[in-house]
Chain A
Amino acid sequence: MDFFMDFFGSIGAFFSGVASDFYQTMIKDGRWLLVAEGLWTTIYIAVCAVLIGTVIGCLLALCKISKSRFLRGIANVYTTIIRGIPLATQLMIFYFVIFAPMGMDRHLVAIIGCGINSGAYVTEIFRAGIQGVDIGQTEAGRSLGLSRLQTMWRIVIPQAVKTALPTYTSEFIALIKETSVLSFIAVMDLNKAGDMIRNATYNAWMPLLSIAAIYLLLTFGLTKLFAILERRLARSDRG
């Protein structure tokens, strides 16, 4: 009997310890506000960046498949440079070398930097999507008298979007995780919020595991959400 009492007693003590740790590190002194603010920063920077990345990706993917050697060259140089340098290094160059001397807000730099970075990956996703559409589709469109642009816009791209969507959404999810390097330019994102709490409370495991859980919930939730959207899209395809 004593054994069981001790056992359950120690489990109870463990959980009450955890709860108290959680309260001390994450709730007390309004520290949860810090986490909420960091989460918001992470989300809005990722969303804005992916929008910029999508615009860049659309334009550069069209450059990559264009007949013009010049446009193809520009797109290739862009994707090679951006994909070949770590995001943290890029952000520091953008901030400390280019934009900070101009006095630009660090959040704006973060959005632009992540957007430019994401654009390179989105370019490749869109290019692969477009080139994955059977050449016969283009030939059918052109043989009906449609121009290159009309064929691209009305026939190839709608099909490319459908095939590119899963990789595109996972790029967005990857971007959410990659914004964790934003503390390199002193932007307080979710990761930085956790780190600041660790510093303030001398407790490492509670804040770090907490923000890890938040990241996981965020990415897992989005993965599920996008999967539902993709199934919807696939269903409309079959009428």
Chain B
Amino acid sequence: MIEVKGLVKSFDGNIVLNGISEHIEKGEKVVIIGPSGSGKSTFLRCLNLLETPDAGEIWFEGEQINTKKCNINRVRRKMGMVFQHFNLFPHLTVLQNITLAPTLLKLQGKAEAEQNAKRLLARIGLLDKADTYPNMLSGGQKQRIAIVRSLAMNPDVMLFDEPTSALDPEMVGEVLELMKELADDGMTMVVVTHEIGFAREVATRVLFMDGGQILEQGAPQIFFENPENERLRDFLSKVL
């Protein structure tokens, strides 16, 4: 589904991604861990071209997306993204946050989009918040709404960029729970996170990044029980 070949990205001469090649299959739940500054967020943001790579290729559903010919807006409809800081639109109600993109892009009529949004809100137990504004919500509520805002586009893959890092500890659980449900529904997911427990439980594959490279990867059992790479062992000893 997603194919990355020789991805290189640097900021002001500082190499952040150093030749990454990776393949993500449909239905996989890939969790990326690594120390801060390892390039994991940049890697994720390259997948939907929020960052433009300096070199390398990114393919999505059989189409190379980092070329001039590719209509990236069309591709992004199929790639949901969830941010560390939620990025809900503060001037719109919860319902409008969810219906804005589907109606503006004429994928759904207004009534259909609202019905769809309400169904999604009911699913996360926040239907009563449909007409409130984001600044009235807790962090956990905001993030769950950000997730369903992406889901309203019926994406083929969901990208999560440290979705729980900005949350108060007591709200981390509700967000992870929703992400687990998504995983159980068969959503293809790429998750950058520090939640090792989530990686153990949900991931089909875990990637360890450091210094702009993927140093080790594998199924979570093997990955966490028998880490081979020295830096991964060092990292795990600090976070576990």
Contact = CB atoms under 8 A, between A and B. Distances in A.
Interface stretch (A2-10, A144-152, A190-198, A221-229): A144-152
Contacts of A137: 87, 89
B230 to A, nearest CB: 35
A136 B143 CA distance: 14
Interface string B67-104: 00000011111011101010111110100000011001
Contacts of B48: 143
Contact of A143 (B74, B76, B132, B136): B76
Interface of A: 134, 136-137, 139-147, 150, 154-155, 158-159, 162, 237-239
B90 A237 contact: yes
A136 B136 contact: no
18 contacts: A134-B85, A134-B87, A136-B85, A137-B87, A139-B50, A140-B146, A143-B50, A143-B76, A143-B79, A144-B77, A144-B101, A144-B153, A145-B75, A145-B153, A158-B91, A159-B90, A237-B133, A238-B135
B105 interface: yes
Q: Is the interface of A mostly helix, strand, loop or mixed?
A: helix
A145 B74 contact: yes
The 8 closest A-B pairs by CB, nearest first: A145-B77, A140-B87, A144-B101, A143-B81, A136-B87, A145-B76, A239-B133, A158-B91
Interface of B: 48, 50, 73-77, 79-81, 83, 85, 87-91, 93, 100-101, 104-105, 131-133, 135-136, 146, 149-150, 153
Contacts of A150: 104
A162 to B, nearest CB: 7
A136 B83 contact: yes
A227 to B, nearest CB: 20
B116 to A, nearest CB: 14
A239 B77 contact: no
A143 B101 CA distance: 10
A147 B104 CA distance: 10
A62 B75 CA distance: 26
B150 A144 contact: yes
B87 A145 contact: no
A144 B50 CA distance: 11
Contacts of A143: 48, 50, 76, 79-81, 150
Given A139-B87, A239-B133, A154 B77 contact: no
A155 to B, nearest CB: 6
A142 B133 contact: no
Nearest to A157: B91
Given A139-B83, A140-B89, A239-B133, A146 B105 contact: yes
Given A140-B83, A145-B73, A154-B100, A239 B50 contact: no
